[in-house]
Structures are given as C-alpha cells and as structure tokens.
Amino acid sequence: MGNITFTMIKPEAVEAGSSGAIFKIIEENNFRIVSLKKVLLSAEKASKFYEVHKDRPFYSELVEYMTSGPIFAAILEKDNAVLDFRELIGSTNPSEAKDGTIRKLFAESMAKNAIHGSDSDENAIIESDFHFDSNERF
C-alpha cells in the first residue's frame, strides 16, 4: 500500500474560489501537501493525462474542459493515500457521492466534478511524475 496520491482541483472549482476550502478539508483529513502548483494545462498535456479514456464518448469534452482554465495540481501523502483519498472525494457522479465528500460539496456535474484523485498506487506515481520533478517535492 503506497503513501502518495495525486490530485487536481478542476477548473470550475478553481474559478468558483473553492480551492482553499477544498485544501482545508484535505489537510484536516491528514493528507500532507508534498507539492502544489497552479497551472493551465495544454491540450497536449490534458490529452496525455486522460489517454486511458481516449475511446470514451466524453473524452474530447473532458480535454476541452480540463484546459478551459487553470487547475491546482498536488501530490498528497498519507498512509493508504489512494484509497483514503478516493473515499474523501466521493463518487465520480456527484449525485451518487456521499454526504461530506468533496464532490458532494463542490461538484457541479458528472463532468465538472471539482477534483481528481488517482485510482491506484501505480497511477499515483505516474501522474505525480507527469506533473512534478523530484526537486519540487518536500
């Protein structure tokens, strides 16, 4: 079981001014912020990040959305980080997300669902390496 996960606060949540409130919840739930930056993803980078979904009907909309405004990208550390963070963010579809989860509180829709969380230890490492160099981790 790994101890890091990767997250992004998605454009609509950044635009809504919810980033601080979301990071407060993240820290209150004992995740340590290892790395953090605000970045506007290029279409190339967003396409690559979501490449596993390239054959899904929502892919082009997803890439367009994720490049529509800046995001916050972060590496988080905690025991059992991936699973505990998925629990904290809630279901992909906010109408199915449990009370108190970040998506229940902040998501606008299935597409604009406020936040990303890695789905496995392997992807947590791949996604962290995709966004951060080793000298950007503390």
Rounded CA gap, 67 and 51, in Å?
Answer: 15
Residue closer to ligand CDP, measured from CB, 44 or 136 = 44
Q: Taking CB under 6 A as the rule, which mask of x and - marks residues 47-86 in contact with ligand CDP? A: -----------x---x------------------------
Candidate ranges 27-35, 37-45, 105-113, 115-123; the one touching Mg ion (CB under 5 A): 115-123
Q: Which of residues 94-133 bind ligand CDP (CB under 6 A)?
A: 110-111, 113, 116, 119
Catalytic residue among 11, 90, 106, 116: 116
Write the CA distances from 99 to 62, 90, 95, 125, integer angstroms. Answer: 25, 9, 10, 29
Per the annotation, the verdict on 116 as an active-site residue is yes
C-beta closer to ligand CDP: residue 54 or 136: 54
Task: Please give the single-letter amino acid code of residue 62.
Answer: L
Which residue from 8, 7, 11, 6 is spatially nearest to 65, judged by alpha carbons? 11
Where do contacts with Mg ion occur on this chain (CB under 5 A)?
Answer: 119
Where do contacts with ligand CDP occur on this chain (CB under 6 A)?
Answer: 58, 62, 92, 110-111, 113, 116, 119
Active-site positions read 116
